Amino acid sequence: MQQQPLQQQKNKVAELIKSKVSLAPMAGITDYVLRSLVRKYSKECLLTTEMISSEFLAQNVETEITKLDENHHPIVYQICGHKPHLMKYSAEILTQFADMIDINMGCPVNKVVKGQDGSALMRNPRLAMDLVRAVKEGTNKPVSVKFRLGYTADEINYVEFGQQMQEAGAEFITLHARTRSQFYAGHADWKKIKELKHNVDIPVFANGDIISIETAEEALTQSEADGVAIGRGVLGDPTLIHRVAHYFKTGEKIPTPTLEEKLDMMKTHLDEEIKLRGEKVAIKFFRKFYPYYIAGIRNASKIRGVLVLEEDYNKILEYINYIKKENEICV
């Protein structure tokens, strides 16, 4: 596919990331519904889909995972894989939906790494470069890469790796400031991101442990990055990205949602998943979200235990009203 002039691509990326905040991809989490909820509050942030396997996409062109609303733009579609021809094909398919295509080189999950995808690519930079080139051949949209500090503490190679991705044609980087071996343990080392930022000529977003306006500000300060990518922080609070972007722009801190507002968001989230997946499947799928929406409330552990086992929608609504009553919220 014919590439856009370099400066034009740089201008595109600058426009896509102007809010300085993006929704980080999370497998099984950042689906159509969650992206829609985040977009409801943040009109300019860069959304990212959950990771899409190039192997899967090659056999399932018509798939729910590509579902898109026009108001989801700007949006990044993230793909993973280790076969250049399939990555190129995936890029060709997704170009019609995406404003940018991202390559996952940071997923630490065993089944992904064993398949030579995700973080495993940090041990094979030559192949990683080939994948970037292949994706660029398949799209005229900007191409980005998301990766980590390295595979283990003894294999820290993120600066050189980032330079190689830029050399291959990547126009944007998101760096999760942990190694693959850390998974999500310990703390993201935002200061290390600064070294990458100073050694590449393309925008870099900081990722990892950004769960509030305060941590977003600290991550940006320590990393000197161009912005932040927020993942788990939006769970239970779809307004977070908007609040962070608003703070970056104005210096004003919008208060966190009240418990009543969070419970209403939870119901909306569940209702929209039911529309997408059907009631039975959606209620089971939604179990992973309950702990985040009810975190910090009275008897949270007990209520969470009940909710994750409940399969009757009307009873779930009863529990939501119970939570409001127990926490002295006027319904």
Is 80 annotated in the active site?
no
Considering the candidates 45, 80, 107, 330, report the single residue annotated as catalytic.
107
Residue 325 tokens read as 């009553």
Distance CA 15, CA 9 (A): 10
Strands 47-48 and 143-148: unpaired
Whole-number Cα distances in Å, 281 to 22, 264, 275: 28, 21, 10
CA 62 to chain CA centroid, nearest Å: 22
Residue type at 55 in one-letter notation: E
Following CA atoms 313, 314, 320, 322 in sequence, which dihedral angle do they give, to the nearest 10 degrees?
Answer: -140
Sign of the C-alpha dihedral, residues 276, 282, 285, 291?
A: positive
Active site residues: 107
